[in-house]
Amino acid sequence: MSSERLAALLDEYAELEKRLADPELHTDQGTARRVGRRYAELVPLHKAAGELEQARADLVAARELAAEDPSFAAEAESIAATLPALEERLAELLIPRDPHDAKDVIVEIKAGEGGEESALFAGDLLRMYTRYAERRGWVTEVIDAQDSDLGGVKDVSLAIKSKGVPDGGNGVWSRLKWEGGVHRVQRVPVTESQGRIHTSAAGVLVLPEAEDVDVTIDPNDLRIDVFRSSGPGGQSVNTTDSAVRITHVPTGIVVSCQNEKSQLQNREQAMRILRARLLAVAQEQADAAASDARKAQVRTVDRSERIRTYNFPQNRITDHRIGYTAYNLDLSLGGDLDGVLDALAEADRAARLAGSPDLARR
């Protein structure tokens, strides 16, 4: 256990506590929210350190009493038995955590090969994440979507936000960061007249939502085009050029939005997605430059690889990275994702404790 790191983090906790008590901080809601998130991240560490310190002090006192009165020996042994678990908990909290864990996310879902069936499956994934968010008390917002003819989605961007400051700094990203990758479905499509099982897929990308302070964008690096919004099958749904396409010239990243009625609103939504993508690019570059940096989902998962299979005939969901299988596909698609997400979180925790950051996302 690094005493220097512990001391530094406890000093940071004390400083943040002072800042939060200063009314001046709350005149800037963005800064107050960032300070509050960081403070929430350190609360469990502060509590664990306090409990361990108290237990050690109690043990010293109990042993001193036991030296004078043997009846206190059992109490001393009982206190001593609690120390290993407290020390392990504190050691776990001292492991550098994912810096984005407290952040909200933008989930992008894209239909893959498979035509309408893939688009229908992408729509299923959209509903799955939306219902999971509802279970967690999170707020969802469809930033942009391209619907398919049969009610699926070809491409959708969904913002998911926690309400207030997340407990322990465990925001939306801390739960959904492993969802990025190719999701495969095996079922009989509604378009299949012979009753044959088909396999199709949809791609999911989860991005921590960037704030203005996270990413600096030079307006001169942007090429902004406007065009007319269209609905399923190319049907025009707008008679004005309100849709916006933004190209970030240095990286070649292209983002478009057409859901809103005004050009200004679509531009603001497109900028949200662009900031999130640029933050992910910046993190990829930072991880590449630091070989010992902990790599999170967006940086380590090869999005060309299948991460999960949803098998309808067997009512089975399988996560291939950790060998997780459960026969509750209907519940999972209904938003009950805690089983697989808890398994991924536990695999990640074990990997970090073992010093193997790639284990949870192999």
What proportion of the chain, given as a percentage, has pLDDT over 90? 57
Of the given ranges (14-23, 233-242, 331-340), which has the lowest mean pLDDT? 233-242
**pLDDT value, residue 278:** 92
**pLDDT value, residue 305:** 66
Nearest-angstrom CA–CA distance, 1 and 67: 30
How large is the average pLDDT for residues 36-58?
93
Phi-psi region of 114 (alpha: psi -120 to 50; beta: other; left: phi over 0): left
How large is the average pLDDT for residues 249-257?
93
Q: Pull the structure tokens for residue 108.
A: 């992008």
Alpha-carbon dihedral 50, 56, 61, 67, rounded to 10 degrees? 170
Residue 304 has pLDDT above 50, yes or no: no
How large is the average pLDDT for residues 137-162?
92
pLDDT tens digits along 73-122: 999 999 999 999 999 999 888 888 888 898 999 999 999 876 889 999 99
H or E stretch covering 236 = none
pLDDT tens digits along 173-231: 999 999 999 999 999 987 776 778 989 999 999 999 887 667 889 999 999 999 877 65
Neighbours of 75 (CB within 10 A): 16
Strands of the sheet containing 324-326, edge to edge, are 139-147, 153-161, 105-111, 198-208, 181-187, 306-311, 316-319, 324-326
**pLDDT value, residue 292:** 39
Residue 300 has pLDDT above 60, yes or no: no
Q: Pull the structure tokens for residue 122.
A: 């992408």
pTM (whole model) above 0.85? no
Q: Pull the structure tokens for residue 342.
A: 């808890």
The domains found in the chain, sorted by start residue, are 1-94 (1.20.58), 105-212+298-354 (3.30.70.1660), 219-289 (3.30.160.20)
Q: How far apart are the first and last CA of the chain?
A: 28
**pLDDT value, residue 208:** 92
Q: Where is pLDDT greater, at 288 or 248?
A: 248
Residue 303 has pLDDT above 80, yes or no: no
**pLDDT value, residue 359:** 40
Of the given ranges (36-40, 263-267, 297-301), which has the lowest mean pLDDT? 297-301
Question: CA of 198: how far to CAs of 114, 121, 151, 183, 194, in Å?
Answer: 9, 12, 19, 14, 11
Neighbours of 16 (CB within 10 A): 20
